[in-house]
Amino acid sequence: MLLAAITTVFLAAEKQWMMLDWKPKRPDMLIDPFGIGKIVQDGLVFRQNFSIRSYEIGADQTASIETVMNHLQETALNHVGSAGLLVDGFGSTPEMCKKNLIWVVTRMQVVVDRYPTWGNVVQVDTWVSASGKNCMRRDWLVRDSKTGEVLTRASSIWVMMNKVTRRLSKMPEEVRGEIEPYFMNSEPVIAEDSRKLVKLNGSSAEFVRKGLTPRWSDLDVNQHVNNVKYIGWILESAPLPILETHELSSMTLEYRRECGRDSVLQSLTAVSENGTDEIECQHLLRLEDGSEVMRGRTQWRPKNAKISGNVGQIPADTA
């Protein structure tokens, strides 16, 4: 019996080594397998590859919007880390840590031309630029690593908040000195959608989901709910027929307030159709007392709609 047990362990170990020594039949299947990024374009752009895992796809057999957003967040943090500026918290620089400052996102625009599928490898480029006196803009360009086809474009605005007082802060000159050398002088990768986001209420919203609460795993290292979780919450009130027949093609989000582990939220959605196959939704995420957490607008296209792909380029630094 002992010999049989030893043989079983040996065979299991041999199988594991065979799996580790496995080579893909197609050389394009596994690029940058450990997700280690690199700095490109004169040290101003961070690039990282991601393989789409089986647990990152949804009912449509494509990557979920949360997966896309997690890739954006991961590359942003790794960009700061690769520059040697990541000390504590989400992207806090040494000077920010001294002053108890953290980054918070206030606005996000995302356009998805095509969602990757299981086994695809996506290449994510990200860079930062100045936005006014006290803000920073971060852009992303997501492409198919094999063909160069643009899959997603995203642009965001970030400000600083004191993590003790939870109040917004001006950008100290010491912090500006740390990050300015990494700024690209370029236009946003997406033209700004300047349309005002509608404030919904109980009478204007057609669909309402109440009693949403964060789990412990929804909190980030700064002890507030990760901004990607908000996207899942606003989709909680999206009507099922839209989810079944359409896919999210773009969204504009304005983050108004943070929420923590004890927050109880409501998700409100209003649907408008413009006579075409595309659908637009207005969203509001609020606390039970009515305080706004996030406003949003999403646009949806019919599933399997033909999208003309293109090969995207990172905007040149015009400095």
CATH number, domain of 224, equals 3.10.129.10
Res 223: pLDDT: 76
Q: How far is Cα 285 from Cα 50, in angstroms, rounded to an integer?
A: 30
Res 296: pLDDT: 96
Tokens 């412990």 sit at which residue? 216
CB < 8 Å & 24+ apart, contacts of 65-69? 65/110, 65/112, 65/231, 65/235, 65/248, 65/251, 66/228, 66/231, 66/232, 68/110, 68/112, 68/115, 68/142, 68/152, 69/110, 69/228, 69/231
Same domain, 197 and 185: no
Same domain, 62 and 142: yes
Active site residues: 222, 224, 259
Q: What is the pLDDT of residues 19-32, one digit of tens each?
A: 334 344 433 333 44
What is the distance of C-alpha 256 from the center of its chain? 17
Same domain, 128 and 236: no
Q: Which two tokens stand for residue 96?
A: 């920010």
Same domain, 109 and 66: yes
Res 86: pLDDT: 72
For β-strands 207-212 and 265-273, DSSP reports them as: antiparallel
Same domain, 166 and 211: no
Domain assignment of residue 145, yes or no: yes
Residue 177, sorted as left (phi over 0), alpha (psi -120 to 50) or beta, turns out to be alpha
Write out the residue range of the structural domain in which residue 155 sits.
1-190
Domain assignment of residue 41, yes or no: yes
Same domain, 208 and 165: no
Same domain, 152 and 231: no
Domain assignment of residue 95, yes or no: yes
Instruction: Examine the fold and report which residue of 140, 155, 190 is the final residue of a domain before the chain moves on.
Output: 190
Instruction: Examine the fold and report which residue of 157, 190, 223 is the final residue of a domain before the chain moves on.
Output: 190
Same domain, 11 and 139: yes
Same domain, 151 and 222: no
Same domain, 179 and 281: no
Domain assignment of residue 130, yes or no: yes
Q: Give the count of domains, the chain.
A: 2
Domain assignment of residue 170, yes or no: yes
Residues of the chain with pLDDT under 70: 1-35, 88-90, 306-319
Same domain, 142 and 94: yes
Same domain, 65 and 154: yes
Instruction: Examine the fold and report which residue of 154, 172, 190 is the final residue of a domain before the chain moves on.
Output: 190
In angstroms, the Cα distances linking 271 to 17, 279, 299 are 53, 7, 10
